């Protein structure tokens, strides 16, 4: 992976993976309804893609009650 990749993670979540010069990957996800974003750094392309799946959980509506 050598160029920025934009992903549609869910209908309301956009993500991006951008390789950094030091071999790391900068990742971000934006949740359109709330305007919130999360950012991270991963050490491999596989972990960066996995991080995107985790972004779904970050913005998911809570289920049940505490």
Instruction: Give, for all 66 residues of the chain, the pLDDT tens digit.
Output: 678 999 999 999 999 999 998 999 999 999 999 999 999 999 999 999 999 989 988 888 888 776
> Reduced to 3 states, what is the DSSP secondary structure of residue 62?
coil
Q: What is the pTM of this model?
A: 0.83
61 to each of 3, 13, 33, 57, how far by Cα in Å?
32, 13, 12, 8
């Amino acid at each position: 992976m050598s160029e920025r990749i934009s992903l549609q993670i869910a209908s309301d979540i956009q993500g991006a993976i951008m390789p950094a010069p030091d071999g790391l990957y900068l990742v971000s996800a934006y949740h359109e309804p709330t305007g919130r974003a999360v950012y991270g750094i991963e050490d491999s392309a596989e972990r960066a893609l996995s991080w995107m799946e985790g972004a779904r959980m970050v913005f998911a509506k809570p289920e049940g009650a505490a």
